[in-house]
Chain A
Amino acid sequence: MSENPTTETTRQDAGGRAIIEARNVVKRFGGATAVDDVSIEVAPGEIYGLVGENGAGKSTLMRVLAGILTPDHGSVVVDGRELEAGSTRAALEAGISLVHQELSLVPELTVAENIVLGTTPVQAGFIKKREMKKIASDALEEIRVQVDLDEPIVRLSVALRQFVEIARAIARKPRVLILDEPTATLTPAETDYLLDMLERLAGQGLAIIYISHRIPEIFRICNRVSVLRDGHLVDTVSISDIKPNEIVDKMVGRELKQELETSRTKVAAGDVVLQARGIKAPGVNGIDLDVRAGEIVGLGGLVGAGRTELVRAIVGADIKSAGTVTINTDGTMRRVNSYRSAISHGFAYVPEERRTDGLALTMTVSDNIALPNRSQLSRYSVLMRGKIGTFAKELADAVGLRPPEIQREAGDFSGGNQQKVVLAKWLGRKPDVIILDEPTRGVDVGAKVEIHRLVRDLAEGGTAVLVVSSDLPELLDLADVIHVVRDGRIAGTLSRDEADEKSVMSLASGESQVRGL
């Protein structure tokens, strides 16, 4: 792996020494062309960035490289030899390892078994346990993460699973490592750790292809970057020759207004609408929280700090062991004890896992939007179809659903548009309190802008907003006040003026928690 240590610090183009090439790759799904005649090449020791909107074809291209998908045209070449198309085994043997965007671990198998999955060492069919554990612990040591090898994945935290996933890729002794949005579920500290690790691995001669929505990460570690749009390769440039906003322009195909940095006009916050006192739940150790009408309250912190557990306990999606939640509308305080009472009292909850918790993917957009709004769309328990159609259409337009076809199944839409559907269904209820958990995770830049706009509009309309986000710029941009959660408690509260990345992170990490950084 460290055959070429001289490449360590130089940032260079691949030249003629590319280890992996994609040549004129075309991939179609049904009638749609996901990747259209794309060629890239990556050299050993290089960290190669790949950016683009959701649906631009990044993941598809990477799945072609890893042999999961068979291209309709074109080929993958490693060391000048063409790879057998559509064979994961051939790709693995050629040294290509892919870290997936969606976690691809097997919940009931152990850490060690997951790390060697697909390449389990065997003797006459039987698993060689000692060798398996050796491979696993070596890989974990390589990325310097400590975890019990016999622990089933189902008992690990999300962040730890991500690192096991990377360990699995490392264990295959790859020459090309592909990471598809590995930082989506990581905290900034964990992200830092990962990026350092990648630079170190590249220094050992590994070729790395790095996909991310987060432009700063690209600038921090990549030598070159390619931009994909609608399946086409727009440009490949050396990182020193381009500025961040130019990349974004190339991604969206036009100049993007600096929406992300537009500060929201401060609204005079009204009365306290949501009041939580002494909330305790698994992972939450007694938290008090107030949200005022028209106010956006952010919850920052590391993944696993208890933010999701907190908001789920507040809204009643999970059972809390102690504490009270009250909602104050029209001057009366009402206690909220169950999820259904919360919803009926004017709460709306946009969960973290939109595919499993947010949407019924086999139902139409129209039906999804109608679901929480049934009572106003039916009479004598009979649905009024025409009314549902116009209602859903109106809301789908309000959130800017693309394409605006409300009779298509929700599963047909991209991640960003699915999230818009989730928002649309709650907007129909004109909520007094809306709780958003990671509202823009895995959402492309354009949709993110729209979702932020919707959240601000809600607040300006007097809704109390509570946002959980691991995307620090998003949190800083949206929130009027940020509570930083650590170990199930509020470690500190920052006003809009006090808050910056550094102050949030130091509260979130609590210094001693982060080692080796």
Chain B
Amino acid sequence: MTNEAQSVAEAVVGEPAIEKQPFNLLVWMSSRGIFVFTTVLVVVAAIFIDGFASLDNITDVFNRAAPIGIVAVGMTFVVISANYLDLSVVAQVATAAVVLIAVSNESNIPAAMALAFVIALLYGLVNGVAVGVFKANAVIVTLSTTFIGLGILRWFSGGSIYFGPQDGAIRSFGLAKIGPFPLSMIVLILMTLILSFVLTRTNFGFLVRSYGSNRDATRLAGVNTAWVVIGAFTITSIAAMIGGFVLGAFSNTAVSSMSTGFDFRALAAIIVGGTSVFGGRGSVLRTLLGVVFVSVLTNIMVLSGLGFGVQQMAIGALIVAAVSIDSLARKASGT
């Protein structure tokens, strides 16, 4: 770089300077987003709702949050890679739970877990290859693997409900606590930390974000994008498997219909957390907060004796409100 070229460059600066914006509540809320919402909700609930702040109730909130949360933090990878969502988590969670409870028969839990792991890898591979290599639409691919997966599960399991013995190892895991905290909560937080590290600090997580932002540019940087997609789906599958283990252990039962609705509920948590459905932007930590937020909200409504219909309406309104604030803030700040 010569001095001449540099001086030319200096003369050509055309970039508008970034100016300081006046304080705007909307902007402030949207930049803190889900952090603010969750804090406000928790504080308000603790003051106005009897029993909310009790240890028992906090345990309930996390029991509500743990299985869906574990699935959601994993599915965040698929969403960030700009592939909408993974509908097949419904089949995967149920499969993992059935394998853990039914196949292990309390005698060979490690072998059952290994089998579940192989199945999870298979899901990740099939979804990932169809989307990453064949460039097929992720919604339809995962819809079809849901059909296939649930079909196979019901064909083999006969759709029965399975449950472990009252004093078995799985049940004691499901009820275990570390200090006052249920083990499922610890698993959720551990998964969040691990996946957050993977997304923000590792090569692979970097590529997932880059792929979600611009897949062509990522490919032309010499990246094997098929593996990025397969990886994103596999992480989701492994998270779904662990979610299935936690769900199965918590209830000590397994049935193929137990995870109905996990697909869109997980997506709702991811979106409330603030991850962009266009891909490229988002974080695992935000997803965790999104899950906690939805769980706290549901918990408050149950404590207040509100019916199921009202709960659904509130969650729907919340999704729109959370994202609307973000959008209005961006408009207010003029970008």
Q: Does A touch B (CB under 8 Å) in the complex?
A: yes
Q: Give the B-binding residues of A (Cβ under 8 A).
A: 29-34, 53-56, 230, 252-254, 256-257, 259, 317, 339-340, 342-344, 349, 351, 356-363, 367-368, 370-372, 374, 378, 381-383, 385, 397-400, 402-403, 413-414, 416-417, 425, 444-447, 449-450, 453-454, 457
Contact between B202 and A400, CB atoms less than 8 A apart: no
The residues of A that contact B220 with a CB separation of less than 8 Å are: 317, 339, 349, 351, 357-358
User: Are B217 and A414 in touch, CB under 8 angstroms?
Assistant: no
Q: Are B13 and A403 in contact (CB under 8 A)?
A: yes
Once the chains are docked, how many angstroms separate the CA of A13 from the CA of B14? 30
Residues B216 and A257 in contact, CB atoms below 8 Å apart: no
Is A31's CB under 8 angstroms from B12's CB?
A: no
A450 to B6, CA, bound (A): 8
Known: A362-B281, A400-B5. A371 touches B14 (CB 8 A): no
In angstroms, how far is the closest chain A Cβ from the Cβ of B20? 8
Interface presence of B317 (CB below 8 A)? no
Which 10 pairs show the lowest CB-CB distances between chains A and B? Answer: A32-B16, A446-B12, A343-B222, A31-B19, A55-B14, A360-B213, A360-B214, A372-B221, A400-B9, A30-B334
B25 interface residue per 8 A CB criterion: no
A416 to chain B: which residues have CB within 8 Å? Answer: 12
**Structural contact, A453 and B2, CB atoms closer than 8 A:** yes
Stretch at the interface among B52-60, B122-130, B204-212, B303-311: B204-212
Residue B224 is within 8 A (CB to CB) of chain A in the complex: yes
- How far is it, in angstroms, between the C-alpha of A351 and the C-alpha of B218 when the chains are bound? 12
Whether A449 contacts B8 in the complex (CB less than 8 A), given A343-B222, A367-B210, A372-B222, comes out as: yes
Chain A residues whose CB sits within 8 angstroms of the CB of B219 once the complex forms = 339
User: Bound state CA distance, A317 and B113, in angstroms?
Assistant: 41
Tell yes or no: B144 within 8 A of A by CB.
no
Could you list 5 further interchain pairs (A-B, Cβ under 8 angstroms) beyond the known A357-B217, A367-B209?
A30-B333, A32-B17, A34-B16, A55-B14, A453-B2
Closest to A446 in B: B12
A444 and B14 CA atoms in complex are apart in Å by 10
Residue contact A371 to B4, C-beta cutoff 8 Å: no
How far does the Cβ of B286 sit from chain A's closest Cβ, in whole Å?
A: 16
B5 adjacent to A254 (CB under 8 Å): no
Contact pick for B217, options A253, A342, A360, A457, CB 8 Å: A360
Decide yes or no whether B15 CB sits under 8 A from chain A: yes
Contact flags B1-38 to A (C-beta < 8 A → 1, else 0): 11011101111111111110100000000000000000
Q: Is B335 in the interface zone, CB < 8 Å from A?
A: yes
* Given A340-B222, A343-B222, A383-B201, A402-B9 contact (CB < 8 Å): yes
Query: In whole Å, how far is A337's beta carbon from the nearest beta carbon of chain B?
Result: 14
A359 to B216, alpha carbons, bound, how many Å?
9
A208–B70 alpha-carbon span in the complex (Å): 62
Please give me the residue from chain B that is nearest to A343 by CB atom: B222
Contact check, A383 vs B202: say whether CB atoms are below 8 A apart: yes
Given the contacts A344-B222, A449-B5, A30 and B216 also touching, CB distance less than 8 Å: no
> With A339-B220, A340-B224, A378-B203 as given contacts, are A400 and B1 in contact (CB-CB < 8 Å)?
yes
Interface centre among B11, B12, B220 (most CB of A within 10 A): B12
CB neighbours (8 Å) of A358 from chain B are 217, 220
Q: Are B335 and A30 in contact (CB under 8 A)?
A: yes
Residue of B nearest to A356 (CB): B216
Q: Which residues of A are found within 8 Å of B9, using beta-carbon distances?
A: 400, 402, 446-447, 450
Does B280 lie at the interface of the complex (its beta carbon under 8 Å from any beta carbon of A)? yes
Q: Is B194's beta carbon under 8 Å from chain A?
A: no
* A374 in contact with B12 given A29-B334, A339-B219 (CB within 8 Å): no
The reply to whether A359 and B16 contact each other, CB–CB distance below 8 Å, is no
Residues of B within 8 A of A360 (CB): 210, 213-214, 217-218, 280
8 interchain pairs, CB-CB under 8 A: A252-B11, A339-B219, A349-B220, A356-B214, A362-B281, A363-B209, A383-B202, A457-B1
- Min CB distance, A431 to chain B, in Å? 11
What is the bound-complex CA distance between A297 and B333, given in angstroms? 48
Q: Which of B10, B16, B209, B214 contacts A31 (CB 8 A)?
A: B16
Tell me the smallest distance from the CB of A276 to a CB of chain B, in Å. 19
How far apart sit A378 and B206, CA to CA, in the bound complex (Å)?
A: 11
B21 to chain A, nearest CB (A): 8
Give Cα A445–Cα B19 distance, bound, in whole angstroms.
27
Q: Which residues of B contact A457 (CB under 8 A)?
A: 1
Known: A54-B14, A343-B222, A402-B15. A359 touches B333 (CB 8 A): no
Chain A CB within 10 A, most for which of B11, B203, B224: B203
In the complex, B152 has a CB within 8 A of chain A: no
A-chain residues with CB within 8 Å of residue B216 when the two chains form the complex: 356-357
Within 8 A of A (CB), among B289-335: 333-335
> Looking across the interface, which residue of chain A has its beta carbon closest to that of B204?
A381
Q: A340-B222, A382-B201 are in contact. Are A371 and B210 (CB under 8 A)?
A: yes
In the complex, what's the smallest C-beta–C-beta distance from A363 to chain B, in angstroms?
Answer: 5
Report the nearest B residue to A449, measured CB to CB: B8
Q: How close is B251's CB to chain A, nearest CB, in angstroms?
A: 37
B12 near A444 (CB under 8 angstroms)? yes
Smallest Cβ-Cβ distance to A347: which chain B residue: B222
Q: How many angstroms between the C-alpha atoms of A365 and B315 in the bound complex?
A: 37
Residues from chain B with a CB closer than 8 A to the CB of A342 are 222
B120 to chain A: closest CB distance in Å? 21
Q: How far is the CB of A216 from chain B (nearest CB, A)?
A: 21
Cα-based distance from A399 to B1 in the complex (angstroms): 7
Neighbouring A residues of B204 by C-beta, 8 Å? 381
Query: A233 CB to closest chain B CB, in angstroms?
Result: 15
Query: How far is it, in angstroms, between the C-alpha of A362 and the C-alpha of B6 when the chains are bound?
Result: 27
Return chain B residues, CB-CB under 8 Å to A449: 5, 8
